[in-house]
Amino acid sequence: MATEGAASELIASAERKAAMAHARFGYETDRAERHELLADQARTQALREMHLRIARMHRSTAACHQTAARLQEDYVTRLTGWTPRRGGPMPVFMSGVAAACGTDSAAVALIGASHDQLALAASDEPSRAAQELEFLLGEGPARDATNEARPVLADGSDLFDRWPGYGPAVAELGIKAVAAVPLGLSGTCVGALAVFDPAQGVADAGPFGEVAEALTRSMILGPDGDPGLYGATDVRAEVHQAAGMVSVHLGCPVTDALQLIKAHAFAEGSSAHSVAERVLSGELRLGR
């Protein structure tokens, strides 16, 4: 069970990260202002444009650090107001991410080189269930956002038209709209941020992309990053380990074994992780 001591450690870590993000925001802002001043003093148009281009880069980085600081501070606020004596689970970092995106439900999916989902962090059970469906069915907003390297938005009947399996399944969870944006840096995609039933206009507005960029550059890939998002990330290592075991048992490719695990989980309405645990313990032996 989570304790106040554990919460205090998380608060201290988040406060430290927020302070560093603020410091980096200040540094990048100062650099931007310096190049804007140099642009005003430039003697040629080419030199002016160069300084303005550099200034825009520093402004963008500064905004990223500012958003990261706000997310960390929000997490501190949520943890400070929590106590195990009141009941309920300890707040997770992703709940603040969801709020910043105008919803209660958001999830981050991290992917490997082959775009397989390697880890998941969710703000609540609906977002976790929706992301699990995407993993099992092999279709959905986060998958499209990473494969196509662009934002994805679908609602209403478009959910069913775009994803024949995922659409009806996620609708059964009561979700009416989904959106996702890729998480990438320097041309490399590391995953996607997906939101479910966001407020009108939030998914195609600037803050959604700003939150995604802050997650990527500060929380996941940054020098002070924490890809585990304060222990809230579920790594699918056991699922892939179980796929390797099934592959050996059946003499089939690991990719086929992984699909078998996913199909079994979807058919019985459980998670891939629970199926993998049973495979690894010897309780379950999958066959053709």
Q: What is the pLDDT of residues 72-92, one digit of tens each?
A: 999 999 999 887 766 678 889
- Decide if 97 is inside a domain: no
Q: What residues does 122 pair with on adjacent strands?
A: 107
Name the residue among 88, 93, 89, 119 with its Cα closest to residue 106: 93
End of a domain among 36, 59, 86? 86
Distance of CA 272 to the CA centre of its chain: 19
pTM of the model: 0.84
How high is the pLDDT of residue 67?
93
Q: What is the pLDDT of residues 235-282, one digit of tens each?
A: 777 887 888 888 888 888 887 888 888 888 888 888 788 888 888 888
- Decide if 190 is inside a domain: yes
Name the residue among 10, 16, 7 with its Cα closest to residue 224: 16
CA gap 191, 175 in Å, rounded = 21
CA gap 249, 72 in Å, rounded = 46
- Decide if 155 is inside a domain: yes
224: CB partners within 8 A, 6+ apart: 17, 20, 21, 218
- Decide if 77 is inside a domain: yes
Share of the chain above pLDDT 90, in %: 47
How high is the pLDDT of residue 192?
92
The answer on 196 and 211 residing in a single domain is yes
Backbone angles phi, psi at 178, to 5 degrees: -135, 150
- Decide if 131 is inside a domain: yes
- Decide if 266 is inside a domain: yes
The CATH code of the domain that includes 131 is 3.30.450.40
End of a domain among 54, 86, 118? 86
End of a domain among 33, 58, 86? 86
What confidence tier does 115 reach under pLDDT thresholds 50, 70, 90? confident
Backbone angles phi, psi at 2, to 5 degrees: -65, 145
The answer on 227 and 109 residing in a single domain is yes
What confidence tier does 48 reach under pLDDT thresholds 50, 70, 90? very high
The answer on 261 and 199 residing in a single domain is no
- Six token digits for residue 119: 């880890």
The answer on 241 and 227 residing in a single domain is no
Name the residue among 54, 61, 55, 57 with its Cα closest to residue 23: 61
The Cβ of residue 39 has, within 10 Å, a number of other Cβ atoms equal to 17
**Owning domain of residue 60:** 4-86
Name the residue among 155, 238, 237 with its Cα closest to residue 204: 155
Q: What residues does 120 pair with on adjacent strands?
A: 109, 234
164: CB partners within 8 A, 6+ apart: 139
How high is the pLDDT of residue 164?
94
CA gap 229, 246 in Å, rounded = 31
- Decide if 223 is inside a domain: yes
The structural domain count of the chain equals 3
Mean pLDDT (whole number) for 41-64: 94
Name the residue among 25, 87, 88, 31 with its Cα closest to residue 54: 31
- Decide if 286 is inside a domain: no
119 has pLDDT over 70:
yes
